[in-house]
Amino acid sequence: MTTPLMQAVKELALSAGPLIRDAFLEPDRPAYSLKGQQDYLTETDLAVEQFVREQITQRFPQDGVLGEEGGGLTDVERLWIVDPIDGTANFARNIAHFCISLGVMVQGQLEAGAIYDPMRDELFLAGRGQGAWLNGRRLQVSNISALNMASAEIGWSSRKPVDAYLNLVSRTMHTGCAVRRAGSGALGLAYVSAGRIECYAEQHINAWDVAAGLLLVTEAGGRINPFWANDGLRQGNAVLASNALLADSFSALTQISLA
């Protein structure tokens, strides 16, 4: 069943999609800037976040909004966690692999989430207890049970030391697991929920990158680490999301606990 909150998050993601897609296809797109090492920002991130904030405030004036670009975490009953463009580095460098990610948390628990890839027209939607869906089709994580048949995305940012990342990639590849890094944590999690890959792991990631994706993975029958522990909402955390059959193996490999 699509709950009213799932419907709202879906409509908002779909209405922001054309803003992102049209800006990406614009030949005279303004240059990007950097917030930090390999940490990209474009005018479109700011414009889309502004649009999303306005829509939420108009429709749900009591709700809070935590956005990647504008922050805004307040003590509210219902919080929208917004990444206007996840995969900004791809967007900025003309690679068509990015999305908008919207998660809605009620009293500290994720209730609904949507991830929309406007270039592939793929809408990933989840509601707590309502399943995970891709363009209306029910999603389930894969049933691959051997690491040497599996694919994992291991995300990277300059927030963690290079050697820690390389060690994790090396350990994973030595099991025979295929490793990728496609530059959008939200889409990586959505792909776990869709059974396209078995695992998404990253040694540190922010709440707006993962809020919707974590709900997608659990609703598709996968397992995740307790990301919200230790103030994950404000500080970010390590993330691990896996299909059910390989979750313990990926947890041992990444040293990210599922408990």
Using CB under 6 A, list all residues that contact ligand IPD.
68, 83, 86-89, 155-157, 183-185, 202, 205-206, 209
Write the Ramachandran bin of 81: left for phi over 0, alpha for psi from -120 to 50, otherwise beta: beta
Radius of gyration in angstroms for the set of CA atoms belonging to the chain, rounded to a whole number: 17
Supply the minimum distance, in Å, between the C-beta of residue 151 and ligand IPD: 16
To ligand IPD, the closest distance from the beta carbon of 155 in angstroms equals 3
Q: Which of 198, 99, 218, 116 is nearest to 154 (CA)?
A: 198
Residue 249 host element (H or E):
helix 247-254
**Is residue 251 within 8 Å of residue 257, measured between CB atoms?**
yes
Q: Which amino acid is at 196?
A: R
Cβ closer to ligand IPD: 42 or 251? 42
Please say which residue, 47 or 106, places its beta carbon nearer to ligand IPD: 47
Closest separation between CB of residue 194 and ligand IPD, Å?
17
Pairing of strands 33-36, 39-41: antiparallel
Question: Least Å distance between CB 172 and ligand IPD?
Answer: 15
Tokens of 43: 């005018």
- Give the residue with the Cβ less far from ligand IPD, 68 or 219: 68
Q: Which is nearer to ligand IPD, 117 or 202 (CB)?
A: 202
